[in-house]
Amino acid sequence: MREKILEILEDLIPDEEIEGRTGLVEDRILSSFTILNLISEIYDELDIEIPVEDVVPENFDSLDAIVAVVEKYQQV
């Protein structure tokens, strides 16, 4: 799943290094538009829905954080 999310992110923000990087939201690499497109892609590709209450900066600030929030809803 991690690879799939990385693939989606690389498609959304092709010019940025994502693996191992933190501060994706804080450094404005992921805009609010990109976060919503990412959620839409995760739903389409992985059939996992991230609810609005979990759309907070700390859940999108790194690849690890995004994977963690996706896994949380995969188990539901």
Residues near another protein, by CB under 8 A: 28, 31-33, 36-37, 39-41, 43-44, 51-53, 55-56
Nearest residue (CB) to another protein, 35 versus 63: 35
Tell the smallest beta-carbon distance from residue 19 to another protein (Å).
22
- For residues 58 and 47, what is the distance between their CA atoms, to the nearest angstrom? 22
User: Closest distance between another protein and the C-beta of residue 33, in Å?
Assistant: 6
Q: Kindly give, in sequence order, each residue whose CB lies less than 8 Å from that of residue 62, ignoring residues fewer than 6 positions away.
A: 21, 22, 23, 24
State the DSSP code for 26: T
Nearest approach, Cβ of residue 32 and another protein (Å): 5
Q: Supply the DSSP symbol for 32.
A: H
